[in-house]
Structure 1
Amino acid sequence: MTTPLDAAFGTLPELIRATASAQPAKLAIADGDAQVSYEELDRAMDRIAAALQRDGTAQRQAVASVAYPCVAQALVFLGTLRAGSVAAPIQPSATPAQIAGMIADSGADIVFLDAANADALVGQDIAARVVMLEELDAWLAPAGAKPQPVEIAPEDGFNIIYSSGTTGVPKGIVQSHAMRWQHLSRNAAAGFDTAVTLLSTPLYSNTTLVSFLPTLGWGGSVVLMKKFDARRYLELAERYRATHTMLVPVQYQRIMALDDFDRFDLSAFRFKTCTSAPFKAELKADVVARWPGLLVEYYGMTEGGGSTALNATEHRDKLHTVGRPLPDHDIRLIDDEGNEVPPGGTGEIVGRSAAMMNGYHGREQATRDATWTSADGLRFIRHGDVGRFDEDGFLVLMDRKKDMIISGGFNIYPSDIEAVLAEHPAVADCTVVGVPSEQWGETPVGFYVPREGAEAGVDDVLAETNAKLGKTQRLSALYQADELPRSAIGKVLKRELRDRLAAGEFA
C-alpha cells in the first residue's frame, strides 16, 4: 500500500492536512498543559498562515520565535510552513544582543515571544514586530480563515537553525523542504504513524526536529516538555504511554541515575534515540538492559551530509561506535590535504546524502569552508570530527577536529567565549577548553594570563565574563596561568591544559 510519503517530494503541511481529514480527533501535540487534535492543528495552521499573509510576511521570508517548547510555539512553526515562509526558532538562552542579531540575520519581520522569555530583547532595537504567544488568539486571523495557496519548491527554505549562541551572530543553517522530506520519508520503519513521541529538547534544535517532524508527518502524537526534569519526564511517559523519544546523553544519564527509575511503567516504549553528544558505551548498555524498546544512536550534523545509526539493542558488541552509514549516505575520511585516507585509516569525516543544508544563511564563504568536493565532483559536508571505520564498517569517533564543546547536548564554541574573556581589561591572554562533567557531559573552563598591574581577581573576571555570555556558554571555572602552552606555530595546546587541570595543577 502506497502513502503520500512514497512520493518523490511533498510537504509537511500537506501531510498534516491529510491526517486531519482522516483522523480529525487524534491527538497531534500536547505539552502537559495544553493540547490540540489534528483537526485543531490544521485549522490553527490556516489561521496563522492567513495572519502572516495579512501582515505582509512574504513567502520564503523567515518567521522567528523565542520560546520554551509548547503547543503555541509548535503551532507558529507549522503555520509558518503553510504560508510558505521559513521557520526560525531561536534559543532563549542566548543574550539579548545575540537574539536580536539572529532575528536581524534571519530577515524576520515578526517574532513570537513567550512570557517566560519576555526579557529576551530588553534594551535591543529590533525592526521585527513582537507578538506574545500568550496573546496568539488575538493576533490570529478569524476562525475559518484560509491562507492564499502557495507553491513550495523542493529548494525553498523550510527552517533556519542557528548554531550555538556566539559573541557576534551565529551561523544560520538553512534546511530546505527537500531535505526535510528526506527526513520524513526515510522513517517508514520507525513506526511514527502510531507513535506517542515524548520530547524534552527545544524546537530550535535539530535534535528535536528529527523526531518532532516525522511524528507529525506520519500522523503520530507529540508530547513536548517545556523544561527537562528526569522524574517529570518519567511521569509524562507513564501518563501518555510514550512509545518514542529522542534524548541527549546527559538526559539519559540523569534518568537512569534516579533511585526509583525501575518503578515507572515504560512498557509502551518501542523506539528510543540519542544524538548530539558523545554517548558512553556503559550508559548505552544500561539503557538497553533496563529500558524497554530499541535504542538507536544517530551521528550526524544539523548541516546534513552523512549520518550513521547504531542499533545498540542489536549490536551490543559495538557500543563504542556510532554505527554504520544510513542507506544512501556516503561517508568518507580525508586527511589534512583533502585526500581520502586508505581503508583502515583515520581521518576527518565528510558526508553526503539527499539530506543536506542549502548553506549558511548569507555566508557564502562559511558554506564553502564547510564543503569538500570529491575527485568525481560530488559535494560533501565536512563534519569536523576525526574517526575511523572498523573491520565491520562501524564508525568509531576518535576526537573532534575542531575544539567544539558539547554541553548538555548543545554545541559551544570556545572561540566565542574566548572573545568575551579577552575583552576584560585584566586579561592579557586566554583560552577556553572543554572538560568532562558528570552533570553536562562537558563544560567550558577558562584559563587566562593576567595583565600586568591588573587589580581584578579571578572571581571578578569570571563573574563579569559570564554576565556577557548566554546561559549555555558560561564558564564553570576560571584559572590564572603565568603563560599558556603553545606549539611552535603559536597554537595553544589545549590538551596540555586539560591534562594539567586533571593532574590538579590548577587546584
Structure 2
Amino acid sequence: MPDISTLPGFYRIAQADPGRRAVIDADGAVTTYGELLARVNQVSHGLRARGLAEGDVVAGVLPNGLDAVVMLMATGQIGLYYVPVNWHLTAAEIAYIVADCDAKVVVADRDHPVEGALTGVGELAGGRPATAPGDRSAGAVMWYTSGTTGFPKGVQRPLSGAEPEATVPLVTWFLGEVCDLRPGDDIHLVTSPMYHSSPCAHTMFALHLGHTLVIAPRFEPVAILELVDRHRVTNAMMVPTMFHRMLRLPDEVRRKYDVSSLRQVIHTGAACPVAVKKEIMDWWGPVLYEYYGSTESTIAFSVKPHDWLARPGTVGRPAPGFEARILDPDGEEVPAGEPGMVYVKSGLGSFTYRKDPAKTASSMRGEWYAPGDIGFMDKDGFLFLCDRRTDLIISGGVNIYPAEIEAALLEHPAVADVAVIGVPDEEWGHSVVALVQPVPGPRPSPRELLDHLGPRIARFKHPRVIEFRDELPRTPTGKLSRSRVREEYLAG
C-alpha cells in the first residue's frame, strides 16, 4: 500500500490507492476511493457540459450520503462554489437561497424534490468520462448563514485559481495543530447534516487525510455508539446536545459498546456545559477537542482535552493564523479577565457576504471580525465565553434567529406583536419561546399559530412554547426590548 502521508489530498490518494475504502454509506454500501473519484470526475465533466465555468454556483439539496459527498468533491476540483442547502427548510426558504446564490444547477434527491432541480447526480454523471477534467482549480463551499434580519446570506471566500492540491498541505498542518488529526487509516463518523459548515468541512478534511467516512443516517445515541463499536471509529464531529443525549442512556446500555477506538471527538456549535464535558471524558477518555468560531471566521479558537481539563469552561486560545482581541463598547481593548466583545483576525483569508457589502462592512472593525459574542481572556490567552449576543438562539448547535420567526407570526391577522426568545434548556441548550400580544378580540390558540408557521418556516424553528401577553415591553424609543422580555419570562 502507498504511503498516503506524502500525497496532497483526496484526488491524489484515490489515484494512488483506488481500493482504499472512502465511504460507508448509511445503508452499509461501501465505495472505494477509486470508485468515488470516478464518479466525482464524471460529475465534474457533466457540470462543465452544462456550461458552468470557474466562479459559477451549484446548489445541493441532498441528505447525508454518497451524492452529497460526490457534489462536494466534484465542484471542489473545477473552481465552482457549492451551496449545501438545508433540506428541512420549506420550499419558499429553499427557493430564496437558490435564487440569492444564482445557482446555475441545483441537485436534489427524490425525497426532497425542488422545482427545476436534477434528481441525484446520475443526470450529471451519465455517459461522462471517469478521467480527470482538464484545467482543474480549487472550488469552495459557500455556506448560507442567517443574520439578525432572518434572511440568510452566503459566506463567500475568494477562489485561489490554483489546483485543488495546492491548499492541502496547509489544511493538513492546521488540522494537526488544532485537532491532532493526521493522514492515515482513520475512520471518521459523520453524525450531523452536511449542510452545516463544520460537518461538511470535516467530511472534506477526512477524505483529504485518506480517512474512511462512516455516514450515520441520523443522530440516535445507541445507533451512534453501535457504529463506533462496529467500525472502530477514531474521530467524529459532534455538538453538545449529542453528548447530553448519550449521557442519558442507562449504564447497562453504555457498557454494551466499545468506544476505546475514539481518539478525537471534535465539538463546536454551542457552549458545552462543564459537567457534561467532564462526564463524557470520564466515559470516553480525554478525547474531546473543542473549537470556537463561526461560518465567517472558521476555527478561530481551539483547545485540546488536557488544556481544557486544566481550565474547565474555556473554548481555547487563538488557532494558528488567528489573532484575537476583547474590546469594550468604545473599541478599547480590555484587560485580561474583563469581559467585552470578541474580535478575531485571520491570516488564512477573508470573506464577504454575497450581494451584501453593507452587511460585510458592518460585521468588521477594520480587519477584525466580531462573531457576536461576549467573553474574556485569561492571562494565558484562553477565551471564556460569557453569553451569546442577545438575539441569537442556539438550539442543539443550530442557530435560530428570532426576527425570522417574529416576522412569520406577525403575518397572522390575530397577532399584534410578538417577541421570540431563547430560554435555557437542559438538553438542547436553548429552546424557542414566543410571547404573543394578540389584537383585541378572540385569541388564536397556540396550535393555530403553529399551523400558520407550517408553510412559512422550517419546523426546527417553531416555538416550543407560545404564551400570550397583554403588552410587550419596549424601550423609550419604541423598540421591542427583548432583554426585558427574557428577564420577565425567566423571573416568572
- The two structures have a TM-score, normalised by structure 1, of 0.88
Match of 1:353 among 343, 346, 359: 346
**Other-structure match for 2:90:** 95
1:220 aligns with 2:211: yes
Cα deviation for residue 331 of structure 1 reads 0.9
Q: Distance in 1 between matches of 2:443 and 2:292?
A: 46
Letter in 1 for 2:256: R
* Equivalent residue in structure 1 for 2:195, among 196, 204, 209: 204
Q: Pairwise CA RMSD of aligned residues?
A: 2.5
Q: Provide the residue aligned with 2:358 in structure 1.
A: 365
The match for 2:254 among 261, 275, 285 is 261
Pairwise CA distance, 1:164: 4.5
SS in 1 for 2:315: coil
The code of the aligned residue for 1:19 comes to I
Mapped pair 1:160 → 2:142: yes
Measure the CA separation in 1 of the matches of 2:84 and 2:448. Answer: 34
Using the TM superposition, name which of 229-238 and 353-362 deviates more: 353-362
Q: Out of 313, 323, 340, which is 1:330 matched to? A: 323
Matched AA of 2:41: D
SS in structure 2 opposite 1:411? strand
1:76, distance to aligned residue in structure 2 (A): 1.5
Name the aligned partner's letter for residue 130 of structure 1: A
Letter paired with 1:44: R
Alpha carbons of structure 1 residues 150 and 185: separation in structure 2 relative to 1, 3 Å: farther
2:284 and 2:474 map into 1 onto residues whose CA distance is 46
| 2:17 alignment counterpart | 23
Alignment partner, residue 81 of structure 1? 76
8 Å contact from structure 2 (residues 26, 214) kept in 1: yes
CA distance in 1, matches of 2:285, 2:197: 25
Matched with 1:191 is: 182
Gaps of 5+ in 2: 161-165
Q: Is the 8 A contact 2:308 2:314 kept in 1?
A: no
**Distance of 1:262 and 1:501 partners within structure 2:** 41
Q: How many residues align?
A: 478
Residues 222/354 of structure 1: CA separation in 2 closer, same or farther (3 Å cut): farther
* Cα distance in structure 2, aligned partners of 1:202 and 1:305: 18
**How far apart are residue 298 of structure 1 and its match?**
0.6
Are the aligned partners of 2:78 and 2:136 in contact in 1 as well (CA < 8 Å)?
no
2:52 aligned partner, one-letter code: T
Map of 1:302 onto structure 2: 295
How many angstroms apart in 2 are the aligned matches of 1:501 and 1:166? 21
CA distance in structure 1 between the partners assigned to 2:368 and 2:18 by the alignment: 42
Deviation, 1:308, is: 1.1
d(CA) in 1 for partners of 2:458 and 2:148?
8
Offset of residue 450 of structure 1:
1.1
Work out the CA distance in 1 between the residues paired with 2:464 and 2:443: 22
In 2: Cα distance, 1:264 partner to 1:336 partner: 50
CA distance in 2, matches of 1:22, 1:394: 42
Any residues of structure 2 matched to 1:61-72 within 5 Å, and which?
Answer: 61-72=56-67
**Corresponding position of 2:117:** 130
2-side partners of 1:339 and 1:150: how far apart?
48
Query: What is the deviation of 1:341?
Result: 2.5
Q: Aligned in 2, Cα 1:445/1:439: closer, same or farther, shift over 3 Å?
A: same
Q: Deviations over 1:122-146 (max 9, x none)?
A: xxxx6xx41112xx33541436444
Shift of 1:367: 0.9
- Residue type of the alignment partner of 1:464: H
> Could you tell me whether the CA contact under 8 Å between 1:5 and 1:185 is conserved in 2?
no
Which residue, 341, 359, 369 being the options, matches 1:381? 369
Distance in 2 (alpha carbons) for counterparts of 1:165 and 1:236: 36
Deviation at 1:475, TM superposition (A): 0.9
1:189-224: per-residue Cα shift (whole Å, max 9, x none)? 322433201011111111203321221111111112
Which residue pairs with 1:376 in the alignment? Answer: none
Alignment partners' CA distance in 1, 2:85 and 2:345: 27
Shift, 1:255, TM fit: 1.6
What letter is aligned with 2:267? C
Q: Deviations 1:309-338 (Å, cap 9, x if unpaired)?
A: 122344314221211112231011122233
Aligned mates of 1:305, 1:455 — CA distance in 2: 45
Does the aligned pair in 2 maintain the 1:407–1:443 contact within 8 Å? yes
1:244 is matched with which residue?
235
Give CA-to-partner distance per residue, 1:79-117, whole Å, 9 cap, x none: 122222111110011111110111111111211111221
Point out where structure 1 has 5 or more consecutive residues left out of the alignment. 7-11, 374-378
What is the TM-score when the length of structure 2 is the normalising length? 0.90
Instruction: Kindly state the Cα deviation for residue 357 of structure 1 after the two structures are TM-superposed.
Output: 4.4
Query: Is the CA contact 2:90–2:455 (under 8 Å) kept in the aligned structure 1?
Result: no
Kindly indicate whether the alpha-carbon contact (under 8 Å) linking 2:432 and 2:464 is maintained by their aligned counterparts in 1.
Answer: yes
Secondary structure of the corresponding residue to residue 111 of structure 1: strand
Change (3 A) 1:491 1:194: farther
Residue 105 of structure 1: aligned partner: 100
Task: Note if contact 2:239-2:267 (Cα within 8 Å) is conserved in structure 1.
Answer: yes
Q: Which runs of 4+ in 1 moved over 6 A?
A: 3-6, 165-168
Letter in 1 for 2:258: D
1:183 and 1:489 map into 2 onto residues whose CA distance is 49
CA distance in 2, matches of 1:465, 1:250: 25
Confirm or deny that 1:59 pairs with 2:47.
Answer: no
Distance in 1, Cα, partners of 2:146 & 2:254: 32
